[in-house]
Amino acid sequence: MKRKGGRPKGDPAALRVMTIGVRVSLDEYAALRQKAAQMSMTPAQWLREAALSRRLPSPPVPPVNRERYAELARLAANLNQIAHRANEGYAVTVADVFLRQLMEEVSRLRLALIGEEQSE
């Protein structure tokens, strides 16, 4: 039996079958071609490498997380002041009401961070 010539078939999982259309201006296209040429790549290869190997910026923080972060920062500042005074040797007294409120806030914030609201 005669063997077929040509290049051997590659891994079917690595076969690129999907196309993503990206519109660019003439100036952007020229810049992409230049950057790709500097790396001895085609523009498509360069774009693929740039998109898949770079770390993207973190997604924006939802406003509710910013609000909860601010609440947590206030609690942490109060706790830090208490701990600082205690570490200096001063007698620190804390009202039971404050400690209960603090425990409730910490519990609420922990649940909020994982996307659950505390039932009241």
Distance CA 32, CA 44 (A): 9
Q: Residue 15: its pLDDT value, please?
A: 85
Calculate mean pLDDT across residues 71-96: 86
For the chain, the domain total comes to 2
Residues 41 and 78 in one domain: no
Last residue of a domain, one of 53, 71, 100: 53
Pair 35, 46: CB distance under 8 Å: yes
CA nearest neighbour of 82 among 96, 92, 68: 92
pLDDT tens by residue, 1-51: 677 778 778 888 888 888 888 899 999 999 999 999 999 999 999 999 988
Q: Do 68 and 109 reside in the same domain of the chain?
A: yes
Q: Which domain holds residue 44?
A: 17-53
What pLDDT, on the 0 to 100 scale, is given for residue 88? 93
- Report the mean per-residue pLDDT for the chain: 84
pLDDT at 89 over 70: yes
Residues 80-105: what's their mean pLDDT? 86
The verdict on residue 2 lying in a domain is: no
Over residues 95-102, the mean pLDDT reads 83
pTM confidence score: 0.44
Structure tokens at 52: 């898949």
Predicted confidence at residue 117, as pLDDT, reads 66
**Strand (E) or helix (H) holding 33:** helix 26-38
